[in-house]
Amino acid sequence: MSQGSSVTAARAADPAPRAAGVSWPLRGGGRGSAVVAGGGGNALWKKLSLSETMTGRCVCGGVRYEVAGPARPVWNCHCHRCRRWTGHFMAATSCEYDDFTLITDATLHWHHPADDPNVAYGSCRECGSSLFWRVMEPPPDGPYVQTQCMWICAGTLDTPTGLRTERAIFTADASDYHTLDPNIENREWE
């Protein structure tokens, strides 16, 4: 099923200052693990078996990745940065760094917004695909477990993903043309 299965996995260059204790993007021992740190909705994360590794890529294929662990349901982030960066809103799943591997990052570019350089938006500099979002230095043991994961633009995953959309966040920043989905949880902020 994996389009990248014939590609030898290569460890990618670290794009920026690495958060202490975070081994991204090296593959860890979490493959197939159903255990995810933190509470809240994590129990609802999709649990992947060894044969269910998810793969994804940008339009041109310059960036390919795989996810070999639990993946969160999709959240739609309407914050002003995600809105402009994606051109609409970011529909993203997320996974632990240990479960995330870049198969190739030949054209991957990380952008750090001037007003918050601690976050990084990952896109393809060749085809322009919006791919990833992450926090460079997550709070060590704060409540923000979602910032200790790689966020992945869900539309870049190969289908079927088996995922569902769970909620919208930062809806106060959504543009006025957009109609929010009343069938999911809508949070004005996070």
- Is 79 near Zn ion (CB under 5 A)? yes
- Is 127 near Zn ion (CB under 5 A)? yes
How many residues are there in the chain? 190
- Is 153 near Zn ion (CB under 5 A)? no
Pattern of binders to Zn ion over 26-65, x per CB under 5 A?
A: --------------------------------x-x-x---
Distance, CA of 168 to CA of 79 (rounded, Å): 10
Distance, CA of 151 to CA of 101 (rounded, Å): 13
Name which of 126 and 166 has its Cβ closer to Zn ion: 126
State the minimum distance, in angstroms, from the CB of residue 127 to Zn ion: 3
How far from chain centre, in Å, is Cα 152? 2
- Is 158 near Zn ion (CB under 5 A)? no
- Is 77 near Zn ion (CB under 5 A)? yes
Total site size for Zn ion, rule CB under 5 A: 9
R_g of the chain computed on alpha carbons: 16
State the minimum distance, in angstroms, from the CB of residue 61 to Zn ion: 6
Of positions 126, 137, 158, 166, contacts Zn ion by CB under 5 A: 126
Q: Which two tokens stand for residue 140?
A: 């060590």
**E strand spans, the chain:** 54-57, 63-67, 74-77, 90-96, 100-105, 108-111, 119-124, 130-135, 149-153, 165-169, 185-186
List residues binding Zn ion (CB under 5 A). Answer: 58, 60, 62, 77, 79, 82, 124, 126-127
